[in-house]
Amino acid sequence: MPRENYVFNVGQELAKKREVKNFFDIIHVFNRPKDALIYKATMPNSRFVLSLHNEMFKEQKITTEMGQLVIKAMDKIMTISEYIGTTITSRFPLASSKITAVYSGIDLNKYVPIWAEGAQSFRNELRKTYGVKNQKVVLFVGRLSAVKGPDVLLTAMKQVLQKHPEAVIVIVGSKWFSDDQIDEYGMKLRELAQSLGENKVVFTGFVSPSDIPSHFLLGDVFVHSSQWQEPLARVHYEAMGAGLPIITTNRGGNAEIMSHLKNGIVIDDYTNPEAFAEAINYLFSNKEQADFIAKAGREFVEANFGFEHVTLRLETLYLAAIKRKKF
């Protein structure tokens, strides 16, 4: 389907199928509430599931009248986290009976824990490539934007280096997905990096999505320094899958899958670099606890967030949508 006039074209295709009585049991619309109404009008007998991974029911994005119409038209609303559900029900309480959080997952075959057979040799080669083979590596994976907080993390590294001078930070990511341009914020990050001394910060630049799983093997500690009310970042599943102890912020839905000091460390004082430094130093200085958190995280993902688990949750949601009484 061409991207130009995408919604109109999809609506037309659905209308054509309806004319020849070719109906769908379920139509699943991703993150576009207003578009769902158009599709519903062309295929009224189908059951509709709307899934949301952002705050799409904010006043800036949808009017009260339109929001109510969308909610009434949907059979189920799937959210990426409980947090995203609350952003809907706080404004539209009538949606509460239709909302279900369906957490994401990862391909467990691609995210190999650092202690797995063969992982260590690959890890050593990758760390050698980036010049961090014998260092304690703090790993950040994400967009280089203020909402992700890499500047807070770089500031925290000053305190980390005082206690662990062999530490380095590897920052995997770019300005925006495949955009490797260095903007004003990117310059600020590089200035902070220079202040830490020579060879203390590695910027990988853009890394292809297919190579992201292997890059988690670079780290000893993974830090997600998010500053915004994030829906629930996928990197949590990925880092746990790779067997890394995680430090994250209590923002948005991020803490929903974390148990403090069990499968990660959750920071409430998320704007404070000292809070990150304290958590990183704790894990570097307490290897036994760091290993416990890492293995608990991997076990948690294996038990709950493989693709097979997501499939079962989706199937349950679809069946509930089909069984829902129409009014």
Predicted confidence at residue 22, as pLDDT, reads: 87
pLDDT at 117: 86
Q: Cβ(168)–Cβ(136) under 8 Å? A: yes
C-alpha R_g of the chain: 22
Amino acid at 162: Q
Report the distance separating Cα 134 and Cα 132, nearest Å: 6
Res 3: pLDDT: 66
Predicted TM-score (pTM) of this structure: 0.93
Nearest to 151 by CA among 203, 189, 196: 189
Domains and CATH numbers, the chain: 6-105+307-323 (3.40.50.2000), 119-304 (3.40.50.2000)
In the block, residue with structure tokens 């389907």: 1
> Phi and psi of 106, rounded to 5°?
-135, 165
As beta bridge partners, residue 106 has 306
Residue 12 CA neighbour count, 13 Å, CB half: 7
What does the alpha-carbon distance between residue 233 and residue 142 come to, in Å, rounded to a whole number?
Answer: 9
Q: Is 326 exposed, middle or buried (0-12, 13-18, 19+ CB in 10 A)?
A: exposed
* 48 vs 16: CA distance, rounded Å: 18
Tens digit of each residue's pLDDT, the chain (327 residues): 666 688 888 888 898 888 888 889 999 999 999 999 999 999 999 999 999 999 999 999 999 999 999 999 999 999 999 999 999 999 999 999 999 999 999 999 999 999 998 899 999 999 999 999 999 999 999 999 999 999 999 999 999 999 999 999 999 998 876 777 889 999 999 999 999 999 999 999 999 999 999 999 999 999 999 999 999 999 999 999 999 999 999 999 999 999 999 999 999 999 999 999 999 999 999 999 999 999 999 999 999 999 999 999 999 999 999 987 665
State the helix-helix crossing angle for 184-195 and 150-163, rounded to 10 degrees.
Answer: 0
**In 3D, which of 140, 144, 153 has the Cα closest to residue 183?**
144
For position 1, what pLDDT does the model report? 64
Q: What is the pLDDT of residue 326?
A: 64
Determine phi and psi for 218, rounding to 5 degrees: -70, -30
Task: Please answer whether residues 65 and 41 qualify as being in contact, where contact means their C-beta atoms are separated by less than 8 angstroms.
Answer: no
